[in-house]
Structure 1
Amino acid sequence: MPIIYRKYEPPQTCTPAVVTTGEEKTPDRPDGPRDNAERDLTAIRRLISQDLSEPYGIYVYRYFIYQWPHLCFLALDDGIGTSLSMTADAATTAEDAAHADTQTQRDNLVGVVVCKLASHRGVKQRGYIAMLAVATAYRGRGIATKLVRLAIDRMIQDGADEIVLETEVDNESAIRLYERMGFIRSKRMHRYYMNASDAFRLVLPVKVESTIRYCVLANELDAGPRSVADLEIGSSSET
């Protein structure tokens, strides 16, 4: 089944739910742009929460997604439209057809990556991959790699000096994915998660200065760049 990718569309760009003309108030269609954005957010939370070792509140999602919507990428299964009660084939107008197609995509969210890009302790622009999730039935198809690549490319385009993330030390599939893309282990954080699991901080140096910094530290240990997991670099937590 075909997978399509798009950026999250935030509420800030949506039209109001009620349009006022003179003294009359005409309600927007029930599934207007703002409703669509909120439904996207609900689907994102549902997908990510399946694999979390600790729960995130709604404000955590809004912090990342509303401030950096261009760094939130969605993977959607575009091949399951027939399960809807109203499909594009059954729609009577072009507007209804477009609405049915949008609803189909939203109901079939199968992957998401959520990131931010901001200054951090002397690093002018540090990218941060906060959340990555792919539905269990869709794993092994390169969706996670594609989502991360989209996010990395956009953060580099926006001037990222380096990109970081944390993952549980026993999440071998995630570690392999990120190391294939050039990330190195910069630190091991003990009992980092609420379930008492340790975490690795992984770093992808982008700019020359960041690359030199991590390579020099790795060479000082007389080890490859993937063997500096216990080295103290940066802060002990991300916010």
Structure 2
Amino acid sequence: MNNDDDNDDEQPSTTITSLTNDFGQINLLNDSLSNNVDDQQKQQQQSSSIEYISYKDETQMPDIMRLIQKDLSEPYSIYTYRYFIHNWPQLCFLAMDQNVCVGAIVCKLDYKKRKLLRGYIAMLAVDEHYRKRKIGSNLVMKAIQVMIELNADEVVLETEVTNRSALILYENLGFIRDKRLFRYYLNGVDALRLKLWLK
């Protein structure tokens, strides 16, 4: 009888300990889920504060150059920027946080061998403090949408083989690796040409 009584006494204690542990795990899980939701809400709020605008005039050029010169492997003169932006202003977009330019894309659209109307993404840059918020993807999609409206057949670009974040961004948007260009950049790094067919 004594042995049975001892066992009966132990079971509720064990059950309570088990339940306490379970509740502790549930609370930890709830805290983790709550933190994830909070992080997602913060990212959505941050992203929703970004406004995407079309290029308007020369006063925006310093902001575009400042962003792009930080990221690109080759220095461009102001004449290179003007070549693209003045000829294809409808293919230049800026991402703005309040009055601060935090992202920019510069593209062109012309015929390849008089047959294919090819869009070309010449430059894309996002301020390092604003990355991981889909700003680059949104800029690319805005430019591609205009290219589609202008009846483009394809879109191409080059990026360094070592630029993994750019490769992931473009491949997530449907671009494929078309060709490797050896020692393409002035720093000796190879490039990958990426292509997106629109038709």
Q: TM-score, normalised by structure 2?
A: 0.75
Give distance in 2, aligned partners of 1:117 and 1:38. Answer: 20
- Give 2:51's aligned residue: 4
Q: Could you list the per-position Cα deviations for residues 185-221 of structure 1 after superposition, in whole angstroms to 9, with x for gaps in the alignment?
A: 11000000000000000000111xxxxxxxxxxxxxx
How much identity, in percent, do the aligned residues show?
56
User: Are 1:139 and 2:131 counterparts?
Assistant: yes
Query: 1:174 maps to which residue?
Result: 166
* Alignment match, 2:109: 117
- How far apart, CA to CA, are the structure 1 residues paired with 2:58 and 2:174? 34
- Point out 4+ residue stretches in structure 1 off by more than 4 angstroms: none
Counterpart of 1:191, as a letter, is R
Q: Distance in 1 between matches of 2:189 and 2:59?
A: 32
- Number of residues of Structure 1 aligned to a counterpart in Structure 2: 152
The aligned amino acid for 2:87 is Q
Q: How does 1:67-216 map to 2 (within 5 A)?
A: 67-78=87-98, 105=99, 108-207=100-199
Q: 2:78 maps to what in 1?
A: 58
Work out whether residues 123 and 161 of structure 1, in 8 Å CA contact, stay in contact via their aligned partners in 2: no
CA contact (8 A) 1:47 1:134 kept: yes
Shift of 1:120: 1.1
C-alpha distance after superposition, 1:151-206 (max 9, x if no partner):
01110110100000000001011001101111011100000000000000000011
For residues 74 and 123 of structure 1, what CA distance do their matches in structure 2 show? 30
Secondary structure of the structure 1 residue equivalent to 2:71: coil
Query: Could you list the per-position Cα deviations for residues 49-98 of structure 1 after superposition, in whole angstroms to 9, with x for gaps in the alignment?
Result: 001111001110000000100000000002xxxxxxxxxxxxxxxxxxxx
Q: CA RMSD in A?
A: 0.9
Counterpart residue type for residue 64 of structure 2: I
Contact 1:127 1:160 in 2 (8 A): yes
From the two aligned structures, give the one with the greater helix fraction.
2
Following TM superposition, by how much is the alpha carbon of 1:123 offset from its aligned partner in structure 2, in angstroms? Answer: 3.5
Q: Any stretches of 5+ residues in structure 2 without a counterpart?
A: 1-45
Which of 1 and 2 has greater Rg? Answer: 2
Matched, 1:38 2:53: no
Who is 1:227 aligned against? none
Distance 1:188 1:137 in 2: 30
In the alignment, the residues of structure 2 paired with residue 7 and residue 193 of structure 1 have an alpha-carbon distance, to the nearest angstrom, of: 29
